[in-house]
Amino acid sequence: MGGFWFTEKQTENFGITMKINKTLHTEKTDFQQLDMAETEEWGNMLFLDGMVMTSQKDEFVYHEMVAHVPLFTHPNPENVLVVGGGDGGVIREVLKHPSVKKATLVEIDGKVIEYSKKYLPEIAGDLENERVEVIVGDGFMHIAESKNEYDVIMVDSTEPVGPAVNLFTKGFYSGISNALKEDGIFVAQSDNPWFKADLIKQVMSDVKEIFPITRLYTANIPTYPSGLWAFTLGSKKHDPLKVAEERFHEIDTKYYTKELHNAAFALPKFVKDLTE
């Protein structure tokens, strides 16, 4: 039998509880507490500072929705940047677009990459691909040093705590705009409208000041706080709701579809109110 129950407290008064069969690795890295565990329901799961990052069973939702919405919106994405994303899932999805010539990953914690490769091979397996460059470093600094370089930037960071605090600031979004080409697009994971409404309001307000097209979309991620996850998209020229039909080439996915591409931007009233 064995095993134990673990609760991730999603607020002070509410959490998600799951059965852990065994701990695979636990370590305090230079940046955060890293735990990798085998769970009964969700397969192997990565936790950082006690928060669910990704699991073998539901990881495809988040990784597909971060990657394919901006990559199908851009008419010809060739040079792509992922900030964070050390588990490799977003990179795996980016590589499904033949137009992408180079995908750069900037992940601050090399241990996340190391243990994702070891325990989440089906998520991290493409980090060795010849089109991928992995940089272990601070995404904030990388953005500050980049100019007019990327077609699409995806911010797949942890919550605005610890090393990710700077990745939710107006200064960072301004840096992203400078790092993008003149028709560039960026997406940032933006937490959830049930418990982090203020964060979503702030991010939307900041991004709107910088990008002419700013939209919020959502997806259902059962292991994330509240299960309703939000993504903020900022675009200099291309509107995600005006993608030509012929742009949607065949792609191997389990969640994303071209119908869902548009439907994801249809928001419940209480979420829509956060964007105005």
Q: Write b or e for each residue in 158-187: b if 16 or more Cβ atoms lie within 10 A of its Cβ, otherwise e.
A: bbbeebbebbbeeebbbbbbebbbeebbbb
The least distance separating ligand SAM from the CB of residue 162, rounded to whole angstroms, comes to 7
The least distance separating ligand SAM from the CB of residue 87, rounded to whole angstroms, comes to 5
* Max Cα distance, the chain (Å): 57
Beta bridge partners of 12: none
98 is in an annotated binding site: no
d(CA 170, CA 110): 26
Closer residue to ligand SAM in complex, CB, 48/187:
48
Closer residue to ligand SAM in complex, CB, 104/243:
104
193 is in an annotated binding site: no
Catalytic residue among 156, 206, 239, 252: 156
206 is in an annotated binding site: no
**Other C-beta atoms lying within 10 Å of the C-beta of residue 39:** 20
Closer residue to ligand SAM in complex, CB, 140/256:
140
Closer residue to ligand SAM in complex, CB, 106/243:
106
Burial of residue 156 (number of CB atoms within 10 Å: 0-12, 13-18, 19+): buried
Q: Which residue has the tokens 């960071």?
A: 157
End-to-end CA distance of the chain: 51
d(CA 56, CA 177): 33
| Residue facing ligand SAM at closest CB distance | 84
68 is in an annotated binding site: no
78 is in an annotated binding site: no
20: its two tokens: 């852990």
The least distance separating ligand SAM from the CB of residue 189, rounded to whole angstroms, comes to 4
**Other C-beta atoms lying within 10 Å of the C-beta of residue 92:** 24
Closer residue to ligand SAM in complex, CB, 107/151:
107
The least distance separating ligand SAM from the CB of residue 240, rounded to whole angstroms, comes to 19
Amino acid identity at 181: K
Question: Is 109 an annotated catalytic residue?
Answer: no
The footprint of ligand SAM (CB under 6 A) covers 31, 48, 53-54, 62, 83-87, 106-109, 112, 138-140, 156-158, 163-164, 167, 189
27 is in an annotated binding site: no
The least distance separating ligand SAM from the CB of residue 61, rounded to whole angstroms, comes to 10
Catalytic residues: 156
Q: Which residues are annotated as a binding site?
A: 32, 63, 87, 107, 138-139, 156-159, 163
- Binding site for spermidine, by residue number, is 63, 87, 156-159
